[in-house]
């Protein structure tokens, strides 16, 4: 089994997927824009061969170089687990006549307007929305959809350039802020809780499923620096309250023609108990979500995904043992971290339930919290009981403080 895997070096967890592929017996042909001498040492044992390209986002150039590189090699799969590369992987599959999702199918997981149209056509509930390419179109869409509404990029990630707009006056301000965005989606604002629905699927049928709860909604976490965003996987994901989300998620996969691999969907649970589609990608969730899912059941989804993507089989036994909370922490002030308070008390309280503590230490430079949910490090805590996992997560959110200057 020969597998082309795009960007085994970035984001850093791609090293784990490369490991997974090697562990299930695939020969991995990596392609990335990292110079060969700069490849991480821990990645090298899992790569069978490697092509360095100057610009990984230049699709035509990468396809041409890879075609030359692989002359005489019969490749079985082309895979990518990073959102910006899923279309490139599909185009390579088409060019080389390989099994897997077509670029048209993958566009349904990448283009936020197209995905909503396809999901709606299957009779599923999506926010009312319009694709807009000019200020005039955004104003007209707002008129039609009404307030509050969401303005966001059609091809977005990380909640970048995403705004909630309360009225016509706010819309004028927002128009200035999204000027550089070529295509926007203008959407009805859905009130309610926000969750993920994640799968590893075979032929569009989930072999693995997960739900995680966003506390608070990503748009709020991204608009307020003082918030420590918390995400908790829900051990009891088949409880009646969340059933509409599971059903919606499975139906969305059918509607979009999902093939094999990871999916990461976001959905809203309205106060009336209705599940409304948010968005979906045909790749794993980022920001350590796969680690959280692994901690939930003590499994290795990096490897199980690889088994699915190559041999179309999922072998892990998946007992849902824990609710797993991750707490992203942002320091107070700018510059370098100078001091930490509350950490020792929290660690004592969490005891064995804390499974990861990767907070930045004094001397380390803060990350730009607007650019990454990863913030200035995180803790992961798990517990079989939801209330206890919730309590320990929020204790970390409120009681651990770091100062920077």
To Mg ion, the closest distance from the beta carbon of 354 in angstroms equals 27
* The only residue of 279, 291, 304, 376 in contact with ligand ATP, by rule CB under 6 A: 279
84 touches ligand ATP by CB under 6 A = no
**216/257 with CB nearer ligand ATP:** 216
**111/376 with CB nearer ligand ATP:** 111
The stretch among 83-91, 238-246, 264-272, 393-401 that binds Mg ion (CB under 5 A) is 264-272
Q: By Cβ distance, which residue is nearest to Mg ion?
A: 266
150 binds, among Mg ion, ligand ATP, none (CB under 5 to 8 A by kind): ligand ATP
Chain positions 184 to 203 lying near ligand ATP, rule: CB under 6 A, are 187-190, 194
To ligand ATP, the closest distance from the beta carbon of 111 in angstroms equals 12
Binding mask 206-245 for ligand ATP (x = CB under 6 A): -----------xxx--------------------------
Q: Pick from 128, 296, 152, 145: which is nearest to 218 by CA?
A: 152
Count, residues near ligand ATP per rule CB under 6 A? 20
Count, residues near Mg ion per rule CB under 5 A? 1
168 binds, among Mg ion, ligand ATP, none (CB under 5 to 8 A by kind): none
364 touches ligand ATP by CB under 6 A = no
* The only residue of 266, 291, 304, 376 in contact with ligand ATP, by rule CB under 6 A: 266
**75/155 with CB nearer Mg ion:** 155
219 binds, among ligand ATP, Mg ion, none (CB under 5 to 8 A by kind): ligand ATP
Burial 144-160 (b: 16+ CB within 10 A, else e): ebeeebbbbbbebeebe
Residues near ligand ATP (CB under 6 A) are 127, 150, 152, 156-160, 162, 187-190, 194, 217-219, 266, 278-279
């Amino acid at each position: 089994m020969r597998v082309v895997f795009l960007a085994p070096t970035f984001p850093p967890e791609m090293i784990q997927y490369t490991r997974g592929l090697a562990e299930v017996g695939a020969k991995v042909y990596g392609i990335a824009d990292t110079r060969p001498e700069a490849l991480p040492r821990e990645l090298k044992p899992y790569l069978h061969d490697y092509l360095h390209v100057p610009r990984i986002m230049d699709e035509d150039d990468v396809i041409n170089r890879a075609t030359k590189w692989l002359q005489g090699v019969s490749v079985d799969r082309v895979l990518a687990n990073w959102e910006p590369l899923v279309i490139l992987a599909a185009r390579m599959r088409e060019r080389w006549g390989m099994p897997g999702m077509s670029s048209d199918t993958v566009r349904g997981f990448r283009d936020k307007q197209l995905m909503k149209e396809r999901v709606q056509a299957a009779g599923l509930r999506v926010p009312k929305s319009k694709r807009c390419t000019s200020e005039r179109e955004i104003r007209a869409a707002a008129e039609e959809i009404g307030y509050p509404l969401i303005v966001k990029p059609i091809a977005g990630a990380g909640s970048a350039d995403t705004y909630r707009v309360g009225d016509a006056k706010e819309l004028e301000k927002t128009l200035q802020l999204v000027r550089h965005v070529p295509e926007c989606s203008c959407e009805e604002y859905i009130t309610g809780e926000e969750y993920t629905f994640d799968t590893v699927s075979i032929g569009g049928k989930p072999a693995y499923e997960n739900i995680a709860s966003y506390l608070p909604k990503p748009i709020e976490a991204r608009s307020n620096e003082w918030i420590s965003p918390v995400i908790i996987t829900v051990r009891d994901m088949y409880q009646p309250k969340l059933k509409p989300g599971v059903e919606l998620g499975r139906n969305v996969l059918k509607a979009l023609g999902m093939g094999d691999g990871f999916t990461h969907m976001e959905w809203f649970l309205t106060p009336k108990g209705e599940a409304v589609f948010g968005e979906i990608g045909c790749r794993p969730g980022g920001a350590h979500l796969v680690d959280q899912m692994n901690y939930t059941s003590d499994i290795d989804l990096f490897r199980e995904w690889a088994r699915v993507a190559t041999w179309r089989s999922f072998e892990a036994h998946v007992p849902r043992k824990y609710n797993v909370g991750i707490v992203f922490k942002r320091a107070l002030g700018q510059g370098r971290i100078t001091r930490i308070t509350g950490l020792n008390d929290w660690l004592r309280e969490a005891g064995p339930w804390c499974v990861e503590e990767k907070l930045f230490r004094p001397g380390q430079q803060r990350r730009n919290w607007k650019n990454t949910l990863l913030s200035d490090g995180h803790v992961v805590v798990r517990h079989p009981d939801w209330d206890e996992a919730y309590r320990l997560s929020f204790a970390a959110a409120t009681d651990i403080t770091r100062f920077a200057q």
